[in-house]
Structure 1
Amino acid sequence: MKITANAAALDDPDCPDDAANDSPDSPCYGKSAGRPRAADKEARLQSLLHTAARLFLEKGYSKVSLEMIAREAHVAVRTIYVKFGGKAGLLNAVITNGRAHFFAGMTDMEADVRPFREVMDDFALRFLELVTAPAFASLHRMVVAEARTTPELADTFYQAGPLRTRQELMRFFSRPDIRAQLRPEVPVETLAVHMLACIMGDTMVRMLFPTEQQPTVDELRARAKQGLDLFFRGVLR
């Protein structure tokens, strides 16, 4: 995705609405007069997140500074602090944004009226598409490589990814209509962990070693079905 200054400039608190600086080095570069429309703000935000994600994956989290991201995205460093609180907050936004792409269009599981198995089929396929995506695999390898020296990276990744997924599943399994179909002696947290383990298999181990070919949708669907069959056999009443 090509990044241009006009698309990347955010609604920067350092830049007045009537800023008209044409220098690429200016945080106001590409900023038109007047308050940006909502669509423009979203485009600029997405461009910043894209730039941050690319730099993190290319250079490693610990080697990327906010100044580097701000320079390439044509925003002020202060803007990143104001909107995200710092580099960890920006990474959280990058992960959350990428995750939302794969689950876009899926009804919130807490309110989904479809049959239990149908909801799980949908979730499992989307989840496997997410964790086998090249960008996610690269992110996972980066976290493993830098977790010991950069604890905030591992914590941010866990909070924005694995923990959030586990909590969503726990809320779904806690629904009275869903809980009634599951073994009552199994805690919802165990149900969530077991469900993810069943559909993931050794996927996380595989991601440590780059592969030349990404699984097809049909292969992922078959893997999801096999894992869910194992899950249902162990937890349904």
Structure 2
Amino acid sequence: MPDFEHIEPLRDMPQTKRGHERCVALLLSASRLFLEKGYDAVSLDDIVNHAGGSKASIYKYFGNKEGLFTAICDYRREQFFKDISLPFTQAGQDLRTYLIDTLIRFYLHIIQPENAAFLRLILEQSQRNTELAIYIHEQGPKEIQQSLAHALQLAHDKQYIVCKNPVYSAHMYFGILRNLEWRVLLGLPLPQPAEEIDQETLKYIHYCVDVFLDGHQKV
């Protein structure tokens, strides 16, 4: 069973471009192998043979296999935020459009076959260790919800909506996609290719956002 007792960021941050590229190559290679073979079936030798370099780099930057897996989760989370969780700027930005676009980006992300497979891998590993589960939740879902809560607080301050508890509202907002997330995690067929969003899902998102905003208006 993996030991995730000491979950922390990179042990020794690379100081050179070459070192950074080496870290990314290890992360991508390990991620690909974990998805293809499963976490337990992949050894550090497998990763090094796939990515090049030596095990010394893994020990230096990640500590061990478990640290490498955690770093992969962090790397994917950073990519998620860069592509999906964009800030609400207020200036010339319509809140309804912002909320709809965020859900669309989120949906298009989770239906990518590789992203869906990695979510399943995270669930599998987190069920085997409470420390990892807590870390993933704190650095992933909770941070995403806080980002949306901040946007809702800004909208409340500008009197676009009435939102007395932005954190609760953020939980409600992301619940809009919960059923679709479960379909993806369970491997159920989707109506459209992974790079598209079908009209029924788009209609559903628009409807739910309108209901969400209606619930945040003055009575």
Distance 1:163 1:56, change over 3 A: farther
- Is 1:141–1:207's contact at 8 Å kept on the other side of the alignment? no
- State the match for 2:144 in structure 1: 165
Alignment partners' CA distance in 2, 1:227 and 1:42: 42
- Bigger radius of gyration among the two: 1
Residue 116 (1) aligns with residue 95 (2): yes
- State the match for 1:126 in structure 2: 105
1:180 counterpart SS class: coil
Unaligned ranges ≥5, structure 1: 1-12, 14-34
Distance 1:100 1:211, change over 3 A: same
Distance 1:226 1:158, change over 3 A: same
Question: Aligned letter for 1:181?
Answer: Y
- State the match for 1:148 in structure 2: 127
Q: TM-score, normalised by structure 1?
A: 0.67
Choose which of 35, 46, 62 in structure 2 pairs with 1:57: 35
Distance 1:218 1:108, change over 3 A: closer
- Is 2:84–2:106's contact at 8 Å kept on the other side of the alignment? no
Residue 189 (1) aligns with residue 189 (2): no
Unaligned ranges ≥5, structure 2: 1-11
- State the match for 1:80 in structure 2: 58
Relative contact order: is structure 1 or structure 2 higher (C-alpha 8 Å, sep ≥ 6)? 2
- State the match for 1:228 in structure 2: 209
- Is 1:173–1:179's contact at 8 Å kept on the other side of the alignment? no
- Is 2:29–2:50's contact at 8 Å kept on the other side of the alignment? yes
Give how far 1:206 is off.
1.0
Give a deviation string over 1:167-225, Cα, whole Å, max 9, x none. 2112222326556333343x221011111002x04123212322455456332533432
Question: Aligned letter for 2:48?
Answer: A
Question: Aligned letter for 2:168?
Answer: T
Identity of aligned residues (%): 24
Count of aligned pairs between the two proteins: 200
- State the match for 1:202 in structure 2: 179
Alignment partners' CA distance in 2, 1:66 and 1:179: 52
- Is 2:153–2:163's contact at 8 Å kept on the other side of the alignment? no
- Is 1:52–1:69's contact at 8 Å kept on the other side of the alignment? yes
Give how far 1:127 is off.
1.0
Q: TM-score, normalised by structure 2?
A: 0.71
